[in-house]
Amino acid sequence: METHDNLQNAELWTSADQLPIDTAIAETASKYGEHNFERKHAVTCRREFLSFSFGGMGIRFFSHLQIASRPTRDLIRRVLIGLLIATIFLAGIQLRRWIGENTRHVRYQHDTVNGFYWGSEVLKEARRLSPDERSANSWTGFCRGYLALYDRVKHKAYENEYGLDYPPLRLLVMAIWAKQVRDGFPWVDNEHPKLVNPLLKINFICELVSALAIFLLVRECLRRSQPTQSSLMNRLPQQHRGWICGLAAASAAWLEPSMILDAHGWPQWDAWILPFYLFAALAALKNRWFWCGCLLAVGAMFKGQLLFVTPFFVFWPLWQKRWPGVLRVLAGFTATAALIVSLWLLRTPAAWVALASVAGIGLLFVARFKFANEGAGVTGAVGCAAFVIGAFTGGSFAWLQLGFIYGSEHYPYLFISSCYNFASLLAGAGWSLKDSLFSAHVGSLHFDFTLQWALRLLYLVALALCARGAAGHWQNRDPRVLIAIAAPWLLMFALLGQMHERYLVWGAVVSAVALGVSIRLSIAHFIISVASTAMIVQVMLTDKKLEATLPTIDVLKHIRLYGSIVVLTCVAVCLWETISTRIPALRHGEVRSGATPSLSLAPELEEA
């Protein structure tokens, strides 16, 4: 009995003595759990930061530290991305403000003054055609003056020197701006326009939309692309490569120094056509050829230089042997252009009745035979009919003569101001734009094949090759389709005559897509960006010729030859990447099944 009591007391003593030990162990485990939880989130933050900073390298290097849940990682990634985008956006705004404030003493005012002058001429024409001041100041009178200005300038011109070279939509914007300025400052003269900020805001919006379009373009191409030959690009995970490279390219475009200097330091309106071209390229990638043509037509009505690269989108489906795509591009372009200029083309009720009859017949024809994609075809046919009816019913084509043709012949020089291109090298060798390479006589007709047309033919051939490269790369899921989209702007500046120094801005911005292709092309992009900025700086400084800037002007003048060689080399690299073909790189360990590639050196499998 005593022995039993002693054993029971020993068990109670042991349990009582063990209780503090269990409690201590529980407290230690709790503290360890809290420490482990804190360590888990610290490691997650560190991993996500490195993953965001270095792409796939950070993910693979810290993969053994992956402890936190996936929703937490996604939240941290989104926060970091949002902070980075906000920082880049605000930096771009601050850079534009700084450029605008620090270039006042060298600002190139001629283009602003010219725009205000022709906008004021629209208002003057409205007053001339209106019965009283109230009617002249109304929007009806404004439209009356706007529609009549082209014909008045054409009729009053001496020896075809019109002075006005604005396409319809750019003239409309300048006229609305001039009306706003005149309403607020009636006493202002044409040489000192006020309230330039509205135009700068349009520049800002176009720059922002262009950066967004470049992001979408790069992401769309890389999401469906094969692995590239760039080792750095392949380190990025396939699921993240599109948005990482897209964000890098959009950031480079948003912070592009030549575009900022052109839009806010000069200022000029070259940024207006970039969104139309980039979204037209995006529509082409989506096989929305009709909308591609519509966007190109609207952009060309702001600046006619867009017409130089428009054939690229005609050659592209042509190389793919998609004949309906070619017709849709032309239909969209023709219909949109006809819609914009219809008030000049169709000036009589009979012309509008004839156009309505053509549209009705087209709709009945389509309804009878049930053609596929009938909307694009009917719209294109109606657009063509508008031009034909306008030609036979006394419609005005002065907008075409002044807004497009006059601008292409206004400067009969190989290059204007300071250009780093092939035409500049030819001018240095003693050539001129109108030099005849050979001539021919056909009966009473005499033909001269000038250097101007030789350069245009060379550019057209290069443009066709770019379209072939774009079609092939897109079919092969090769990200080099991006550089093929940028190449037309680079070739335009490099090969054509009559180029202004500002025209490389378009190539500098669009070539930012190279950041989604390879390191070599990215370096070429940054070199082109520096060259474009240097040319704009030289013109702005030369216009004022301040004593403090004379050494800089002298340096920029003497490097033009070397700048031309460097730019042409970069364009040649981009063109080679556009037209060359290669076997797509395979993922590590990936085995292809099916037919052997046409360029493969392995023997084809025999059919059973």
Give pLDDT, residue 257: 95
**Domain termination site, one of 151, 184, 217:** 184
Neighbour count for residue 340 (Cβ, 10 Å): 19
Q: How large is the average pLDDT for residues 207-211? A: 97
Write the CB contacts of 400 (distance below 8 Å, at least 6 apart in sequence): 341
CA angle 393, 398, 404 (to 5 degrees): 130
Residue 137 lies in a domain: yes
Decide if 23 is inside a domain.
Answer: no
Quick check: is 598 in a domain?
Answer: no
Q: Range with the lowest mean pLDDT among 16-25, 177-186, 398-407, 467-476?
A: 16-25
Q: Over 70: is that where the pLDDT of 370 sits?
A: no
Q: At what angle do helices 197-223 and 274-285 cross, to 10 degrees?
A: 20
Please count the structural domains in the chain.
3
> Distance (Å, rounded) from C-alpha 45 to C-alpha 554?
52
How large is the C-alpha radius of gyration of the chain? 32
Q: Are residues 179 and 233 in the same domain?
A: no
What gap in Å lies between CA 482 and CA 474, rounded to an integer? 9
Q: Percent of the chain beyond pLDDT 70?
A: 82
The Cα–Cα gap between 377 and 335 comes to: 10
Residues 553 and 457 in one domain: yes
Q: Are residues 473 and 550 in the same domain?
A: yes
The CA distance from 277 to 368, in Å, is 37
Flag whether 89 is in a domain. yes
Tell me, yes or no, whether 601 lies in a domain: no
Q: Residue with structure tokens 């060798």?
A: 429
Q: Give residue-wise pLDDT tens across range 107-164.
A: 888 889 999 999 999 999 999 999 888 888 899 999 999 999 999 999 998 888 898 9
- Which residue is associated with the tokens 């024409």? 125
403/166 Cα distance (integer angstroms) = 5
Q: How far apart are CA 540 and CA 532, in angstroms?
A: 13
Whole-number Å distance between alpha carbons of 530 and 570? 12
- Backbone φ and ψ of 410, nearest 5°: -70, -35
Residues 274-313: tens digit of each pLDDT: 999 999 999 999 999 999 999 999 999 999 999 999 999 9
User: Cα dist. 277→234, 291, 292, 370, 382 in Å?
Assistant: 29, 11, 9, 33, 24
605 in a structural domain: no
**For residues 170-187, average pLDDT:** 90
Rounded to the nearest 10 degrees, the angle between the axes of helix 197-223 and helix 481-495 is 130
User: Looking at the domain assignment, is residue 234 inside a domain?
Assistant: yes
Model-level pTM?
0.84
Contact by Cβ (8 Å): 326, 293: no
> Which of 184, 218, 235 is at the close of a domain?
184
C-alpha dihedral (451, 452, 453, 457), degrees to nearest 10: 90
Q: Which residue, chain included where needed, has tokens 């795509």?
A: 325
* 433, 532: one domain: yes
Q: Of 50-54, 81-85, 221-225, 416-420, which gets the smallest average pLDDT?
A: 50-54
For residue 54, pLDDT over 60 is answered with no
Residues 97 and 126 in one domain: no
42 or 231: which leads in pLDDT: 231
Indicate whether 7 belongs to any domain: no
In this predicted structure, the answer to whether residue 595 has a pLDDT above a threshold of 50 is: no
Mean pLDDT of the chain, nearest integer: 83
Indicate the residue among 152, 184, 216 that finishes a domain: 184
525 and 414 share one domain: yes
| 254 shares its domain with 400 | yes
* Amino acid found at 261: L
Which pair of structure tokens corresponds to residue 123? 């208002």
Residue 529 confidence (pLDDT): 96
Residues 117 and 139 in one domain: yes
Q: Please list the alpha-helical segments (H only) found in 55-165.
A: 56-61, 70-102, 110-129, 133-137, 139-156
Q: Which two tokens stand for residue 243?
A: 């948005």
pLDDT recorded at residue 228: 61
* pLDDT for the residue 298: 97
Based on the domain organization, do 426 and 484 belong to the same domain? yes
Domain assignment of residue 85, given as a range: 29-102
Which pLDDT band holds residue 373 (cuts at 50, 70, 90)?
low
**Res 161: pLDDT:** 87
**Proportion of the chain above pLDDT 90, given as a percent:** 59
- Asked if 114 and 174 count as a contact pair (C-beta separation under 8 A), the reply is no
Whether residue 469 is predicted with pLDDT greater than 50 in this model: the reply is yes
Claim to verify: residue 122 and residue 90 sit in the same structural domain? no
DSSP string, 519-570: HHHHHHHHHHHHHHHHHHHHHHHHHH--GGGHHHHHHHHHTHHHHHHHHHHH
Which residues fall within 8 angstroms of residue 510, CB to CB, at 6 or more apart?
214, 253, 274, 277, 278, 485, 486, 489
Do residue 544 and residue 411 come from a single domain?
yes
Strands 436-442 and 445-450, sheet pairing: antiparallel
**Of 197, 185, 183, 174, nearest in space to 111 by CA:** 174
pLDDT digits (tens, 9 = 90+) for 527-544: 999 999 999 999 999 888
Same-domain status, 37 and 153: no
